[in-house]
């Protein structure tokens, strides 16, 4: 038994070392990359007559998103839309000529109500959202795995079933929550209001684990300066980010899909670096430097691997 455990540990260490080596090589590459969005040529798209006519009468669309979902998106104190998705929106706007008029919300629940009431035309949301009764979704353009965050003294877990007796939290109103609850109907999940609430609950021991996207939890752990929580496990779920469009706007959906298809891997890498790599560089708590750098390396690498897989899936469909 002990020999088997030693072999497994040795194999795990070898895999981990190889993976970290690859991650460090990738970090070295991006650290010396000075490419910006401005350096990459924006590709224009060809529109059919129906799409051209629609654009002529609808040069502006109303948009909202999650006010508290960095590095993906947020509205700052001045109501400006920021984050990874905002960079994609800027590219799509340049490609199509569409002006996105932002409608800031104070909470994600407020953003959802705006969609349901027809106040906005587009919302940034995951393509597994329960809002499909109101929206059609574009081709997804970002994929991210769902992981489990626990206190630092907890062992790594392979799946949700391993901790089903513990107190597990999900963020309220997030699209992926429904599919997790449906599959694990025997677990009584705890709902938290937002990512900060969830991570602090893990940190204080009010809950044992939080399920969230890798990018969101990694970014917020660094932002809050938490040193007693960590990513402690994976799940079989992922989430794909797309744009939800009101069902009475099929021409807009078609235009957005054409624009998303032209966004290049180089553009995606530049956006990712801006919101993940720069987060590390701007962090001033140097007691966490090595933890933060390691987190950034792994996060960026997984992001690229995950999104390459997403690109392959999309190419197979088209």
Write down the pLDDT at residue 23. Answer: 43
| Secondary structure (H, E, C), 49-103 | HHHHHHHHHCCEEEEECCCEECCCEEECCCCCEECHHHHHHHHHHHHHCCEEEEC
Write down the pLDDT at residue 275. Answer: 84
How far is Cα 193 from Cα 102, in angstroms, rounded to an integer? 23
Q: How many CB atoms lie within 10 A of CB 267?
A: 20
Q: What pTM, to 2 d.p., does this model score?
A: 0.72
How far is Cα 132 from Cα 190, in angstroms, rounded to an integer? 25
Check the CA dihedral 108-270-274-289 and report its sign. Answer: positive
Cβ burial of 123 (10 Å; 0-12, 13-18, 19+) is buried
Q: Do residues 211 and 220 make contact, with C-beta atoms less than 8 angstroms apart?
A: no
What are residue 213's phi and psi, to 5 degrees?
-75, 150
Check the CA dihedral 123-64-112-187 and report its sign. Answer: positive
Write down the pLDDT at residue 305. Answer: 58
Q: Do residues 230 and 156 make contact, with C-beta atoms less than 8 angstroms apart?
A: no
Taking only the tens of pLDDT, the chain with its 318 residues reads 544 444 444 444 444 444 444 444 444 443 444 445 545 566 779 999 999 999 999 999 999 999 989 999 999 888 899 999 999 999 999 999 999 999 999 999 999 999 999 999 999 999 888 899 999 999 999 888 999 999 999 999 999 999 999 999 999 988 899 999 999 999 999 999 999 999 999 999 999 999 999 989 988 998 999 999 999 998 999 989 999 999 999 999 999 999 999 999 889 888 888 887 545 444 434 344 444 445 555 555 555 555 666 666 656 656
What are residue 297's phi and psi, to 5 degrees?
-60, -50
State the fold for domain 37-143+241-266: D-Maltodextrin-Binding Protein; domain 2 (3.40.190)
Three-state DSSP class for 143? strand
User: What class has domain 144-239?
Assistant: alpha beta
Q: How many residues can be counted in the chain? A: 318
Domain boundaries, the chain: 37-143+241-266, 144-239
Report the chain's terminal Cα–Cα distance, integer Å: 50
Token duo for residue 153: 């003294």
Write down the pLDDT at residue 284. Answer: 38
Domains 37-143+241-266 and 144-239 share a fold: yes
């Amino acid at each position: 038994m002990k020999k088997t455990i030693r072999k497994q540990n040795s194999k795990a260490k070898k895999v981990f070392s190889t993976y970290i080596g690859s991650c460090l090589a990738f970090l070295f590459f991006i650290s010396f990359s000075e490419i910006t969005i401005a350096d990459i040529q924006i590709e224009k798209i060809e529109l059919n007559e129906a799409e051209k006519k629609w654009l002529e009468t609808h040069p502006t669309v109303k948009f909202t998103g999650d006010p508290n979902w960095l590095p993906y998106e947020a509205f700052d104190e001045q109501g400006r839309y920021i984050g990874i998705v905002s960079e994609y929106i800027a590219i799509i706007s340049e490609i199509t000529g569409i002006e996105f008029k932002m409608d800031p919300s104070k909470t994600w629940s407020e953003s959802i109500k705006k969609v349901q009431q027809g106040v906005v035309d587009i919302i940034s949301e995951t393509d597994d959202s329960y809002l499909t009764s109101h929206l059609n979704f574009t081709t997804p353009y970002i994929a991210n795995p769902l992981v489990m965050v626990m206190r630092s003294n907890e062992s790594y877990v392979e799946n949700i079933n391993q901790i089903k007796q513990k107190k597990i939290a999900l963020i309220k109103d997030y699209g992926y929550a429904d599919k997790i609850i449906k599959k694990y109907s025997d677990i009584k999940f705890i709902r938290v209001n937002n990512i900060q609430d969830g991570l602090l609950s893990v940190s204080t021991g009010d809950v044992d684990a939080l399920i969230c996207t890798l990018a969101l939890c990694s970014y917020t752990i660094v932002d809050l300066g938490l040193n007693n929580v960590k990513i402690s496990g994976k799940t079989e779920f992922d989430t794909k980010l797309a744009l939800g469009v009101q069902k009475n706007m099929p021409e807009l959906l078609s235009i957005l899909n054409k624009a998303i298809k032209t966004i290049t891997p180089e553009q995606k890498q530049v956006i990712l670096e801006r919101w993940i790599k720069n987060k590390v560089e701007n962090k001033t708590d140097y007691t966490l430097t090595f933890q933060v750098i390691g987190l950034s390396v792994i996060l960026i690498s997984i992001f690229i691997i995950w999104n390459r897989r997403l690109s392959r899936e999309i190419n197979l469909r088209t």
